[in-house]
Amino acid sequence: MFASVAASAGYGQLITPLLEDLGVFARLGEGGEGVSKEMYQFADKGGRDVALRPEVTASVCRAFAEHRPTTPWKVWYTGPNFRYEKPQRGRFRQFDQVGVEVLGVDDAQLDVEVIALADEFFRALGLQRIRLIVNSLGEPDDRARYVNALRDHFESSSAGLSTTSRETLQRNPLRVLDSKRAEDEAAIAAAPQIGEFHSPAAAEHFEAVQGGLRALEIDFEVEPKLVRGLDYYRRTIFEFQSDALDSAQNALGGGGRYDGLVEALGGPPTPGVGFALGLDRTLIACDEEGVFSSESERPDAFVVDVTGGLHATVITGELRAAGLVADRGFDNRSMKAQMKLANRSAAPSAVIVGEDEVAAGTVIVKPMDGGEQITIRRDELVAHLRARPTTT
């Protein structure tokens, strides 16, 4: 589904390696913080420092710097990532993401397009309890001035900060804003806000993003304390949160602009924007919201073969080729045992084949709701099952 959402907006699929040079991920966290602290890194047999990818954006920028495709370069991806985190519900050491990245376009309307794609994907899944929060970190100079102001603020109120946040403050004052600890609440509430530091150009860009979202009638909240956990962001950042998940793991996905990243990886100055959505958390949210019905797992027919099993192989093959969902029993079990399986599968019909039916070229179709069974010709089976309502 994600592939069709992305393809409809002109994005092509990109497959990047799971293993990259460690240097590709060097910009993910200042001072060995956050994602870079959680990397699976090691020296390979040739003594090269490599890492399992903790995310895909840096790999996309590395590929861009290496191959220099024409811009705008619009790509989507899917696949596993690895972070050495403390495993818990919604936080795993291997997790899957889908995402998009666009390189070479500065226009705020592209930020809107990218956010709208994620929104469309969540909508297409049927999720309702999703909130979009947006913020702008400003230009690099704005961000640097803000970080200084935050440092001053938190240092003057550091007695009121938790021990963990006092340590975070030394490494990266922005990340103190992420703290959900009660002791930090007052100092965070009184902290300066990034909006006060936006240059006119950054403020204009952020206004244009919000205008685009409003034009598309996509609901959002501006959250001045949103900073995101990766250090490459500039200007727009955003996150999709689910109210169906615990607040510590409620981010289903997020992204933003990372205009300096390609350059940092040896390419020409190139603006970039994108997002990644966590599939594991998205599936948990789908479960919590009950968006997947179990109907789709129910076969249209369950084939019961008491002649050894070869006929079930052929019949299920024919039914599946005709677009029906068919299941069967294995291990040449008794008729009774196979009927039990048919019952458990919740298929509306059992298709029974014994020696007599094989000899006559027929099958027995038994409605599982207790209706009368009938014998029909094998070549009538598909049409017969199609004509039957699939629910009992």
CA geometry: angle 61, 67, 70, nearest 5 deg: 85
Rounded least distance, CB 99 to ligand HAM, Å: 5
Asked whether the beta carbons of 327 and 316 are under 8 A apart, the reply is: yes
Residues 6+ apart with CB under 8 A from 375: 357, 362, 363, 364, 365
Rounded least distance, CB 107 to ligand HAM, Å: 16
Which of these ranges, 50-58, 219-227, 326-334, 351-359, lies near ligand HAM under the rule CB under 6 A?
Answer: 50-58
Please spell the DSSP secondary structure of 349-389, one letter per residue. EEEEE-HHHHHHTEEEEEETTSPPPEEEEGGGHHHHHHHS-
Our CB check for ligand HAM shows the closer of 154 and 233 to be 233
Paired tokens of 385: 């099952």
Q: Which run of H or of E encompasses 132?
A: strand 130-136
Our CB check for ligand HAM shows the closer of 87 and 308 to be 87
Determine, following the binding rule CB under 6 A, whether residue 2 of this chain makes contact with ligand HAM: no
Candidates 188, 202, 229, 101; CA nearest to 143 is 202
What CA–CA distance (Å, rounded) separates 226 from 238?
8
Amino acid sitting at position 56: V
Our CB check for ligand HAM shows the closer of 237 and 339 to be 237
What CA–CA distance (Å, rounded) separates 196 from 227?
15
Rounded least distance, CB 366 to ligand HAM, Å: 45
In the bound complex, which residue of the shown chain has the CB atom lying closest to ligand HAM?
A: 278
What CA–CA distance (Å, rounded) separates 385 from 373?
13
Determine, following the binding rule CB under 6 A, whether residue 271 of this chain makes contact with ligand HAM: no
Which of these ranges, 181-189, 247-255, 291-299, 355-363, lies near ligand HAM under the rule CB under 6 A?
Answer: 247-255
The three-class DSSP label of residue 160 is: helix
Binding residue for ligand HAM (CB under 6 A) from 127, 275, 312, 328?
A: 275
Determine, following the binding rule CB under 6 A, whether residue 253 of this chain makes contact with ligand HAM: yes
Rounded least distance, CB 309 to ligand HAM, Å: 41
Rounded least distance, CB 8 to ligand HAM, Å: 19
Determine, following the binding rule CB under 6 A, whether residue 256 of this chain makes contact with ligand HAM: yes
Which of these ranges, 115-123, 202-210, 249-257, 292-300, lies near ligand HAM under the rule CB under 6 A?
Answer: 249-257
Binding residue for ligand HAM (CB under 6 A) from 245, 251, 262, 303?
A: 251
Sign for the CA dihedral angle at 43, 47, 53, 54 comes to positive
Backbone angles phi, psi at 272, to 5 degrees: -150, 150
Size of the site for ligand HAM (CB under 6 A): 27
What CA–CA distance (Å, rounded) separates 257 from 208?
14
Determine, following the binding rule CB under 6 A, whether residue 220 of this chain makes contact with ligand HAM: no
Rounded least distance, CB 272 to ligand HAM, Å: 8
The three-class DSSP label of residue 333 is: coil
Which positions from 87 through 116 interact with ligand HAM, judged by CB under 6 A?
Answer: 90-92, 95, 97, 99, 101
Binding residue for ligand HAM (CB under 6 A) from 53, 83, 205, 234?
A: 83
Our CB check for ligand HAM shows the closer of 173 and 278 to be 278
Our CB check for ligand HAM shows the closer of 97 and 179 to be 97
Which positions from 279 through 298 interact with ligand HAM, judged by CB under 6 A?
Answer: 280-281
Which positions from 224 through 243 interact with ligand HAM, judged by CB under 6 A?
Answer: 229-230
Report the interhelical angle of 140-156 vs 163-171 (nearest 10°).
140
Please spell the DSSP secondary structure of 225-290, one letter per residue. T---S-TT-EEEEEEEEETTS-GGG-EEEEEEE-TTHHHHTTS----EEEEEEEHHHHHHHHHHHT
Q: Could you tell me the strand order of the sheet in which 130-136 lies? A: 12-13, 73-82, 94-103, 272-278, 251-257, 234-242, 130-136, 221-222
Rounded least distance, CB 280 to ligand HAM, Å: 5
Residues forming contacts to ligand HAM in the complex (CB under 6 A) are 55-57, 83, 85, 90-92, 95, 97, 99, 101, 229-230, 251-256, 258, 274-276, 278, 280-281
